[in-house]
Amino acid sequence: MDFSLSTEQKQIRDMVSEFVDEEIKPVAADIDANDEFPQDLVDEMSKLGLMGMPFPEEYGGAGLDYHSYAIGLEEISRGSGGLGTIVAAHTSLAGNMLYEFGNEEQKQEYLTPVNEGTDIGAFALSEAGAGSDVPAMTTTAEKDGDEYVVNGGKLWISNGSVADTVTLFAKTDPEAGNKGISSLIVRPEEDDGFIVEGTEHKLGDKGCPTAELRFDDMRIPEDRLLGEEGDGFVHALKTLNGGRITIAARSIGIARAALEDSLQYSQDREQFDQPISGFQAIQHKLADMDTKVQCAKLLMHQAADKKIRGEKFIKEAAQAKLYASEISREVANEGIQIHGGYGYTKDFPVERYYRDAKLNEIYEGTSEILRNTIAAQLLD
Ligand SMILES: Cc1cc2nc3c(=O)[nH]c(=O)nc-3n(C[C@H](O)[C@H](O)[C@H](O)COP(=O)(O)OP(=O)(O)OC[C@H]3O[C@@H](n4cnc5c(N)ncnc54)[C@H](O)[C@@H]3O)c2cc1C
């Protein structure tokens, strides 16, 4: 058992960390305030190979192992939770759908520009009446000659309003429950009937547009089907499993930001003629924050390790995401407490970490659904 990072993993960490400190952190408060998609940063990250980290170089990816990808995403999220979601939805969800389930032509045509960052990806699964209950979706894709005609709508789609490629789930056989769900590649610029209804005004996760989409007799060529008809539910579950590892990474990145800021602040802030870091009450908070971050990292890398080895990792990914998401909120909460009144204001970024952290407990499987998943695996 080796807990140390390889030379390549350290290089990735250091490269992304430097980029985060120099390019992302200085503008993170502006991204939060303006809630605009940070195209300039995404372009810079594309040049660094950060928009296709875990995919092979032959498809424009960086060819990194899943540990390195998670480390990269952790660093990005340490700078901005919104950017963390942009990269995670683009890569772990849309990119993974194309890589795992696309045929060779689909990979060449759609995955390569996604990995290169010239196209932005989105993953459209959730609907107004179908969040945790995926098979309740009502969006349909009806075959008409050599096309599918898609009708319905999707809600809360990260990158949805800026995406060039959307991996969409729709029912090709509405009577067949989860076996009637198929996945399709949608190209918003080309496909008439793709409508962005609007974007959400959210608590946090700013900079990543969360869109409501509508499909009005949208015609998709049949060669944009991923895999076979009826494979969509399995595609979604498998993709979300890998995605959960990277939401753990986003959670850890945010928690680390809160810890790092709190360590600094506690040494700068003086009360009763001494830095507050001298008080044992504050020291214990810092100790607990760091312990939680380290535990979350171990769970994340355990899940990544199983994924790399090709072993089943449903339970491990769910545990990593469940634990990391809950501790990211707890650590950010303690970060505010250590900052006192200042922590409750926008003078310090720790309140942003708290707002960004909360989302981790909701998307890609709520904490309640993840506990169901873990229990089902234990009882299986
Ligand atoms: C900012 C943001 C970005 C998102 N990005 C995407 C995206 O890119 N693509 C996408 O497809 N979706 C996305 N989502 C949707 C997200 O995955 C769903 O919100 C999530 O799955 C929960 O679904 P819901 O909101 O309908 O809640 P519901 O399923 O209605 O759940 C409400 C509550 O009931 C609980 N509950 C539901 N069922 C059970 C059960 N069986 N047992 C116990 N408790 C249960 C839940 O845990 C929750 O606490 C995003 C959401 C947000 C907020």
CATH number of residue 124's parent domain: 2.40.110.10
pLDDT at position 2: 85
Q: CA-CA distance, 21 to 253, in Å (whole number)?
A: 13
Q: Does residue 364 carry a catalytic annotation?
A: yes
H-helix or E-strand containing 247? helix 232-268
Pocket test for ligand 1, best of 92, 181, 206, 366 (most atoms within 8 A of CB): 366
Supply the CATH number for residue 16's domain: 1.10.540.10
Q: How much of the chain, in percent, has pLDDT values that exceed 90?
A: 99
Mean pLDDT of the chain: 98
User: Same domain for 236 and 373?
Assistant: yes
> Which 3 state secondary structure label does DSSP give 254?
helix
User: Same domain for 204 and 285?
Assistant: no
Q: Please state the atom number of ligand 1 nearest to the C-alpha of residue 132.
A: 29
132 CA distance to ligand 1 centroid (A)?
5
Q: How many other β-carbons are positioned within 10 Å of the β-carbon of residue 131?
A: 17
User: Same domain for 137 and 213?
Assistant: yes
For 119-134, how does the pLDDT look when each residue is reduced to its tens digit (9 = 90+)? 999 999 999 999 999 9
Annotated catalytic residue: which of 212, 229, 316, 364? 364
User: Same domain for 30 and 44?
Assistant: yes
User: Same domain for 114 and 124?
Assistant: no
H-helix or E-strand containing 164? none
Expressed as residue numbers, the domain containing 78 is 5-119
Q: CA-CA distance, 231 to 236, in Å (whole number)?
A: 9
Contact 317, 241 (CB under 8 A): yes
User: Same domain for 141 and 39?
Assistant: no
Q: Please state the atom number of ligand 1 nearest to the C-alpha of residue 93.
A: 8
Q: CA-CA distance, 62 to 56, in Å (whole number)?
A: 6
Which of 200, 229, 258 lies at the terminal end of a domain, its last residue? 229
User: Same domain for 181 and 269?
Assistant: no
User: Same domain for 283 and 222?
Assistant: no
Longest pairwise C-alpha distance within the chain = 79
Supply the CATH number for residue 254's domain: 1.20.140.10
156 CA distance to ligand 1 centroid (A)?
9
User: Same domain for 329 and 365?
Assistant: yes
Which of 211, 229, 247 lies at the terminal end of a domain, its last residue? 229
User: Same domain for 352 and 241?
Assistant: yes
User: Residue 1: pLDDT band by 50, 70, 90 thresholds?
Assistant: confident
371 touches ligand 1 (CB under 6 Å): no
Q: Please state the atom number of ligand 1 nearest to the C-alpha of residue 160.
A: 8
Instruction: List the helix and strand counts (H, then E) for the chain.
Output: 13, 10
Which of 206, 229, 252 lies at the terminal end of a domain, its last residue? 229
User: Residue 304: pLDDT band by 50, 70, 90 thresholds?
Assistant: very high
For 235-248, how does the pLDDT look when each residue is reduced to its tens digit (9 = 90+)? 999 999 999 999 99
User: Same domain for 185 and 256?
Assistant: no
- How many separate domains does the chain show? 3
User: Same domain for 241 and 372?
Assistant: yes
